[in-house]
Amino acid sequence: MALFSKAPVFVLIATLLLAANFSGHMFSSLPLKRFLNNEFPSEAHMITRLAYNSEGSTQDHSGFMLYSPVVEELFLAADKEPYKDIRQTINNNPKDIVIYQSHVGLQDEMLYPVWKMLFKLRDNVLEKAREGSRWQKRMQSYDLYYIVKITQAFVALFNGLIIALILLWVFKQFSIKTAYIALALVLVLMADLTFFGRSMWWIMGVWFLPFLIMSMSYLMARGQPLRTAPLLLASILAGLGLTLKTSLGYEFASTIMVSAVVPVTFYAMLNKWSFKSWFIQCLPVGIFQLAGLALTFWLHAQALESGGWDPIALLKETFEGRAHGNGHFDALEDLVGDSVNSSVLGVWASYIFGYKNMGLPQFILMSPLLFWLWTRRKDWKTGFTKVAEEKALLTGIALGGLGALSMFTILKGHAYIHSYDVAAWSIPMNLLLMVFYARWIEKRFSS
């Protein structure tokens, strides 16, 4: 048992279990078919770009993501046959390729080293394979199939590592038992993470970088306010983490920005900082989150301008179509028109009371916490609990919830259409909720 109490062993176990769940949905309540039904349209852009990059460059088309209708043949593919020669088909029909300009499109630059390595491996197999052998035929006709599957496994491993490092913070801040219980709860109950877990488009782990960076920074400072230099360094790194995420897509931007100050607030409550100390610590974090988002806008505008588009007009139209529309889409009798005319409260309700067939309803996931709060209703005037640890976690959960609601409010139009925005609840509210439950379980069975 002593082996399992070591932090590196825990991180290894957590990473492998999470990666396995993200790759094959082994433990989650979410079936793999759900991923294929709902997430394939995003992966189609990645498969198109992967195929294109095998002949072209990651900088072609200003680096934006690409889409070819040919990849629709791969939808719900049960085997590799639909992938046969699809790379050549895409590159032989360049006029069919559609450019996706809604964000910087950093995905292929991030994954290009993996793809390049895998193409080299394919070339080595072809070079050494016996003429007419099975592997020679496979690599000649189905190379894209293997590269997609291996890349998705690599992404799942990266995502698993990031969540495992957050659970390492739980390990260090609370206890080994809490960390393992929280890991089990994440595997079984957090179907939204599983849904995104192997997606080359989302690269989900980057959503949690600002939260992870700030959590680890305060952990190393023993939960006390950071000095000027470490605070600036952590804030800059967290801001660059947001730049990385928003260069892959602007979804969840406000939620992630709020998540960066959740660790500050957690430790302020836990160790009873003064309001002044909390505010001074939050200020540079918030400033560099805004700077990180501004840097993404600048990079996006530069990419659009290099391709001959009007950056201001396109960025404005993209935002309005995902937010409130400002009257530009009101006359449309389609889903976009409905989304910009939908009520904010209606969007909130849809994300609180139902996952829209993506997993357990959020209300059910929160019901144990709500019941716990109800049993302490007599103490509401004094803040539910006198235990500093519980206060800190409850505050972090509440702040994370406000971060999710900010996404559903600012990008209401996007949230109305795309039910997968339910993941905003997990950045980091649901993760902290699992920690809260894990602490309760540990204390319950230890007493």
78, pLDDT greater than 60: no
Q: How many CB atoms lie within 10 A of CB 364?
A: 13
Closest CA to 265 of 283, 276, 278, 284: 278
Question: Which of these, 102, 98, 61, lies nearest to 249 by C-alpha position?
Answer: 102
**Across 61-74, average pLDDT:** 86
* The pLDDT of residue 254: 96
Both tokens of 81, joined, read 């046959």
- What's the sign of the alpha-carbon dihedral 355, 360, 364, 366? negative
All residues at 6 or more sequence positions from 388 whose CB lies less than 8 Å from its CB, including other chains: 269, 270, 271, 272
Separation CA 228–CA 243 (nearest Å):
22
State CA 159 to chain mean position distance. Answer: 8
> If we measure between CA atoms, which residue out of 311, 352, 11, 33 comes closest to residue 160?
11
Q: What is the pLDDT of residues 92-150, one digit of tens each?
A: 888 888 999 888 999 989 998 898 898 888 888 888 888 878 778 777 777 888 888 89
Predicted local confidence at residue 331, as pLDDT: 46
- Global pTM reads 0.92
Widest Cα–Cα separation across the chain? 79
Q: Which residue type does 139 have?
A: M
pLDDT given for residue 388 in this prediction: 87
CA atoms within 13 A on the CB side of 178: 20
Can you tell me whether residue 392 is helix, strand or coil?
helix
d(CA 192, CA 203): 13
Instruction: Using alpha carbons, select from 126, 22, 31 the residue that is nearest to residue 357.
Output: 31
The least confident of 17-21, 139-143, 172-176, 224-228 is 139-143
For residue range 34-54, what is the model confidence (pLDDT) as tens digits? Answer: 666 667 778 889 989 988 888
Provide the H-helix boundaries in 174-332.
176-189, 191-196, 209-220, 228-246, 253-270, 275-306, 311-322
CB 144 within 8 A of CB 83: yes
Asked whether the beta carbons of 167 and 12 are under 8 A apart, the reply is no
Which is more confidently placed, 413 or 9?
A: 9
d(CA 379, CA 385): 7
Q: Give the span between the Cα atoms of 183 and 165, in whole angstroms.
A: 11
Mean pLDDT to the nearest integer, 68-91: 78
For the stretch 340-391, pLDDT in tens is 677 888 888 888 887 555 557 888 899 999 888 888 777 666 666 778 899 9
- pLDDT for 258: 98
Burial class (CB in 10 A: 0-12, 13-18, 19+), 378: exposed
Which structure tokens are listed for 26?
Answer: 């082994």
Q: What is the per-residue pLDDT for 337? A: 65
Query: What is the identity of the amino acid at 115?
Result: W
**From CA 164, how far away is CA 183, in angstroms rounded?**
8
Q: Are 256 and 385 in contact (CB under 8 A)?
A: no
Scan for tokens 């209401």, then name that residue: 412
| DSSP output for 164-197 | HHHHHHHHHHT-HHHHHHHHHHHHHH-HHHHHHT
Average pLDDT, the chain: 87
DSSP 64-88: -EEE-GGGGGGTT-SSSGGGTTHHH
pLDDT at 358: 57
User: Who's near 65: CB < 8 A, 6+ residues apart?
Assistant: 45, 46, 48, 49, 99, 100, 103, 105, 107, 108
* Cis peptide, bond prior to residue 428, ω within 30 of zero: yes
For residue 388, how many C-alpha atoms fall within 13 Å in the half-sphere facing its CB? Answer: 11
Q: How confident is the model at residue 70 (pLDDT cuts 50, 70, 90)?
A: confident
Structure tokens at 425: 């609840």
The Cα 73–Cα 113 span in angstroms is: 26
3-class DSSP state for residue 155?
Answer: helix
Give the pLDDT confidence score for residue 262 in this predicted structure: 98
Q: Say how far apart CA 48 and CA 68 lie, in whole Å.
A: 6
Tracing tokens 């390729």 back to the chain, one arrives at 97
